[in-house]
Chains A and B, each alone.
Chain A
Amino acid sequence: SQQGEEDPQALSIQEGENATMNCSYKTSINNLQWYRQNSGRGLVHLILIRSNEREKHSGRLRVTLDTSKKSSSLLITASRAADTASYFCATLRNSGNTPLVFGKGTRLSVIA
């Protein structure tokens, strides 16, 4: 069963604005990962944040993790039309060799 739940399900913003997507999960995790998927394309791994980390940056991406609330957020700053895609969070449980459980995703549209 899916563990992560993203909100919003869809987000439409103007180019240059920031986009924030949230993810909630249910069980304890080893790490949480964010992926991007352009329409009809494969998954692109964006960033991984471990359970003992609270914030991580990668270029225009900022991810936070609050394990007490079992939630994470992905912030994309200064968005571009090329950021238009679906974004998924996925969690890896603490027990070894368990697969990622994916949320339903947020569909982001950046309008030029």
Chain B
Amino acid sequence: SAVISQKPSRDICQRGTSLTIQCQVDSQVTMMFWYRQQPGQSLTLIATANQGSEATYESGFVIDKFPISRPNLTFSTLTVSNMSPEDSSIYLCSVVQSYEQYFGPGTRLTVT
């Protein structure tokens, strides 16, 4: 099984600023996934991050707002740019290994 860590675990940010969330996996994986969970809602996939290529974004999410880096097979970052209170959510990174999915502990973001 994969063990995933995320930093920071939580943050409170001012609107208009940006926050970069880091995700580290203890094994090499081809794809990493970023999800968002807004308060009281389910998880929504933001994008798939492949090493060595641009991330693939789901409908409703754009690179300018959520730039993603994937410099190697164990690490990825998601930036939430020009934040507004609507971006207050839990952001989770995730990987799939052998058809089982593993989640990081999440980053709880509050935008004031």
Least CB separation from A104: chain B residue:
B42
Whether B57 is near chain A, meaning CB under 8 Å from some CB there, is no
A85 at the interface (CB under 8 A from B): no
How far apart are B60's CB and chain A's nearest CB, in angstroms?
9
Q: Known interface pairs A30-B99, A99-B94. Does A42 touch B106 (Cβ–Cβ under 8 Å)?
A: yes
- A71–B100 CA distance with the chains assembled, in angstroms: 19
Please classify the interface of chain B as helix (H, G, I), strand (E, B), loop, or mixed, using the class held by over half of its residues: strand
A97 lies within 8 A of B31 (CB): yes
Q: Is the CB of A97 within 8 A of B96?
A: yes
Chain A 68-112 interface residues, beta-carbon cutoff 8 Å to B: 88, 90, 92, 96-105
- In the complex, chain A residues whose CB is within 8 Å of the CB of B31: 97, 99
Of residues 5 through 49 on chain A, the ones whose CB sits less than 8 Å from some CB of chain B are 30-31, 33, 42-43, 48
Q: A33–B101 contact, CB under 8 A?
A: yes
Between A31, A97, A99, A100, the greatest number of chain B beta carbons within 10 A of the residue's beta carbon is seen for A99
Closest to A1 in B: B59
User: Which chain B residues in 2-50 approach chain A with CB under 8 Å?
Assistant: 30-31, 33, 35, 41-45, 48
**A90 to B65 CA separation, bound complex (whole angstroms):** 26
B42 touches A102 (CB 8 A): yes
Give CA–CA (A96, B58) in the complex, Å: 18
A40 to chain B, nearest CB (A): 9
Q: How far is the CB of B91 from chain A (nearest CB, A)?
A: 12
Give every chain A residue within 8 A of B30 (Cβ-Cβ): 97
- Which of A88, A90, A99 sits near B48, CB closer than 8 Å? A99
- B42 lies within 8 A of A99 (CB): no
Distance in angstroms between the alpha carbons of A2 and B106 in the assembled complex: 20
Residue of A nearest to B59 (CB): A1
The contact sample of 5 A-B pairs, CB cut-off 8 A, is A99-B31, A99-B35, A99-B48, A100-B96, A102-B42
